C-alpha cells in the first residue's frame, strides 16, 4: 500500500476496493477454539471465532483496516483463486472502480488443516526435504503445503499516472475454466486428463485476451503440483495451447521452494512474475531434478532473459483452472481498459 501511495487517496475512499482469495480462515486459531469448546465448554470460546475461520475474513479485515469502501469480494476456488481474484479486480476496474487491493493468502499448516489436506492423497510422503516436492520430476510424489501469499495493488493506468505512481506491469489477459467432477486421485490419469483440457482452454483464452500468440509467451510460472499424473496433464495442456513453443519456453515453479500455499500460491507467482519482468530474470525451480518431461524447466540458477509477456497457470482441487498473462510496463501497456 505504501509502494502504491494509497494514502494519497484518503481514508474512507470509495475509489479503493478489495478482492482476495482464500479457502479457509485462521485454521490454527480455529482449532484452538474448537478444542476449547469441546474440552471446556462454549464459555471458553471467544466471539472472534465466528469470523476468524471464515474465508472472507481477509477481505473484510483489509477493507476495514485501510478504510477502503469500494467494491469488495472474496473468491474460493482453491489454488486457482489467487489468479481469479486478480482477474475479478481487473473487471471491477473496467467497470469504474479505479483501484483494487487484490491477491490471496492461506495458512493451512495446523494439525486439523493438514488432516483435511491429507484426504486428497496428493501431499508428499517423503521424509527427505530435498526430494519432497519435485515438480515435473521422475521422483515426483506429491506437493508440500506452504503458508503465505501475496497482495497486489491493481489500478487503472490513467488514474495511476495522474497520481504519479509508476506501473510495475500490466495484467493483459485472463481466462478461467472448470473441469467438472471430484478431485482426481493421484493415480487416476483419466480424471487428470479432464483437467488438462480445461487448463488448455484457459491458457488459450488468456492469450487471446492479451492479444498475443503462443510464441510471444516469454516464460511460464507453472502450477507444478509434483504429482506425476497432474504434472503430465499440465504439460499436455501447455502443449495443446502453446504448440511447439511449449518445449522451448522457460518454465519455472518457485513454489517448490516455498510450498504450495493453496489460494496464496498463485498470487505469489504473479508477484514473482512482475519482478521477473522488471529484472529480466526467470527464477529457478528449487530442488528440481530428474526431469520427466520434454520442457525447458529452469533449474539451478536464475536465467537472464528479456521478458515482455509471462504466463501464470494455476489449478485448484475440484476442477478449477486459471491462466493469467502479465506483461511488462514498457511493452505491454497497449490495451485500453474497456
All three cell numbers of 271? 508477484
Task: Name the CATH superfamily for 6-132+143-160.
Answer: Thiolase/Chalcone synthase (3.40.47.10)
pLDDT in tens, 125-152: 999 888 899 999 999 999 999 999 999 9
Under CATH, which architecture does the 168-328 domain have? 3-Layer(aba) Sandwich (3.40)
Q: Look at residue 330 in the predicted model and tell me its pLDDT.
A: 59
Q: Look at residue 310 in the predicted model and tell me its pLDDT.
A: 98
Q: Is residue 336 over pLDDT 70?
A: no
Beta-sheet strands, E only, within the chain:
16-21, 72-75, 99-106, 148-155, 169-178, 219-221, 250-252, 281-282, 296-297, 303-304, 309-316, 320-328
Q: Where in the chain is the domain with CATH 3.40.47.10?
A: 6-132+143-160, 168-328
pLDDT in tens, 209-263: 999 999 999 999 999 999 999 999 999 999 999 999 999 999 999 999 999 999 9
How much is the average pLDDT of 267-295? 94
As a dihedral over the C-alpha atoms of residue 201, residue 202, residue 203, residue 206, rounded to 10 degrees, the angle is 120
Amino acid at each position: 500500500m505504501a509502494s502504491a501511495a494509497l494514502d494519497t487517496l484518503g481514508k474512507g475512499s470509495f475509489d479503493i476496493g478489495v478482492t482476495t482469495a482464500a479457502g479457509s480462515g485462521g485454521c490454527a486459531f480455529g482449532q484452538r477454539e474448537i478444542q476449547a469448546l469441546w474440552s471446556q465448554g462454549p464459555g471458553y470460546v471467544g466471539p472472534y471465532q465466528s469470523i476468524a475461520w471464515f474465508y472472507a475474513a481477509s477481505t473484510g479485515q483489509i477493507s476495514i483496516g485501510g478504510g477502503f469502501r469500494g467494491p469488495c469480494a472474496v473468491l474460493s476456488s482453491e489454488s486457482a483463486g489467487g489468479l481469479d481474484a486478480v482477474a475479478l479486480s481487473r473487471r471491477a476496474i473496467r467497470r469504474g472502480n479505479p483501484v483494487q487491493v487484490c491477491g490471496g493468502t492461506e495458512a493451512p499448516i495446523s494439525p486439523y488443516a493438514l488432516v483435511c489436506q491429507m484426504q486428497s492423497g496428493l501431499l508428499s510422503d517423503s521424509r527427505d526435504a530435498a526430494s519432497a516436492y519435485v515438480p515435473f520430476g521422475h521422483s515426483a510424489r506429491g506437493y508440500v503445503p506452504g503458508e503465505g501469499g501475496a497482495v497486489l495493488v491493481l489500478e487503472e493506468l490513467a488514474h495511476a499516472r495522474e497520481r504519479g505512481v509508476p506501473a510495475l506491469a500490466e495484467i493483459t489477459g485472463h481466462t478461467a475454466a472448470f473441469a467438472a467432477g471430484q478431485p482426481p486421485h493421484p493415480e487416476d490419469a483419466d480424471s487428470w486428463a479432464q483437467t488438462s483440457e480445461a487448463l488448455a482452454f484457459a491458457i488459450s483464452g488468456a492469450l487471446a485476451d492479451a492479444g498475443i500468440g503462443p510464441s510471444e509467451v516469454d516464460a511460464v510460472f507453472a502450477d507444478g503440483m509434483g504429482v506425476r499424473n497432474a504434472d503430465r496433464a499440465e504439460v499436455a495442456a501447455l502443449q495443446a495451447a502453446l504448440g511447439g513453443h511449449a518445449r522451448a519456453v522457460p518454465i519455472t515453479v518457485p513454489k517448490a521452494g516455498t510450498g504450495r500455499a493453496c489460494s496464496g500460491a498463485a498470487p505469489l507467482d504473479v508477484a514473482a512474475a512482475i519482478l521477473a519482468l522488471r529484472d529480466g530474470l526467470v527464477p529457478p525451480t528449487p530442488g528440481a531434478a530428474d526431469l520427466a518431461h520434454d520442457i525447458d524447466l529452469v533449474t539451478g540458477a536464475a536465467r537472464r532473459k528479456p521478458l515482455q509477456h509471462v504466463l501464470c497457470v494455476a489449478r485448484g482441487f475440484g476442477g478449477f483452472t486459471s491462466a493469467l498473462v502479465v506483461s511488462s510496463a514498457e511493452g505491454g501497456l497497449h490495451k485500453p481498459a474497456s
